[in-house]
Amino acid sequence: MPTLSPSQAGPTTLTVNESPAANQNLKATPLAKDGGVLTRLSFSVSTTPGVTGYRIYRKEPTSPGFALLASTTTSGLDTGLAWAGGDTPAKRLFSVTAVDGAGRESFLSNVVTNDDADGDGLTDADEVAGASDPALADTDRDGLEDGVEAANGTHALAGDTDGDGA
Ligand SMILES: [Ca+2]
Ligand SMILES: [Ca+2]
Ligand SMILES: [Ca+2]
């Protein structure tokens, strides 16, 4: 959160110390490891000057809110937590914040789940059931992501279902 620093002496000034900007491009992808499939998170590093690290938060299905999972100084994390296959293991939510050297923390980033490998808003299981590609956000490459097509009732497998000529 931003903090305010009134001057102790001299001319009256008030400095607003802005907290870092939130990351907006967090992604969760399946990672085959040790005979299982685990959840890997990745994001772009913050462009806010002074950012020294990131905090990864997760929400368990039975938990009312997010809890700290790990801190990292790099732009990704192998969570060690299972990728969801159908309803088992359970769906988890993830988010990340940026932290600067003074300990100021950004708001949460976008939220991702461990059951949507291409981040298009449809779960892997729903994509398999509906024959769209769980590894490609826009299966028919018409510019509308599969989740948007599902919400709009257009077809994710045939191009230009929105009739815009693209
Ligand atoms: Ca998907
Ligand atoms: Ca897809
Ligand atoms: Ca499409």
Q: Return phi, psi of residue 130, to 5°.
A: -100, 0
What is the distance in A from the centroid of ligand 1 to the CA of 148? 11
Ion ligand 1 nearby residues (CB, 5 A): 116, 118, 120, 122
pLDDT at residue number 20 = 93
Separation in Å, CA 103 to CA 19, 47, 76, 125: 9, 16, 20, 40
What is the distance in A from the centroid of ligand 2 to the CA of 16? 43
Under-70 pLDDT residues of the chain: 1-2, 86-88, 159-166
Report the CATH architecture of 18-113.
Sandwich (2.60)
What is the distance in A from the centroid of ligand 3 to the CA of 32? 27
pLDDT at residue number 1 = 59
Which pLDDT tens digit goes with each residue over 136-161? 999 999 999 999 999 888 877 776 55
What is the distance in A from the centroid of ligand 2 to the CA of 27? 14
Q: What predicted TM-score, i.e. pTM, was given to this entire model?
A: 0.81
Instruction: Select from 36, 40, 25, 35 the least CA-distant residue to 117.
Output: 40
Pull the structure tokens for residue 141: 């490459």
pLDDT at residue number 147 = 94
Q: Return phi, psi of residue 150, to 5°.
A: -65, -40
Quick check: bond before 20 cis, omega within 30? no
Q: Where in the chain is the domain with CATH 2.60.40.10?
A: 18-113
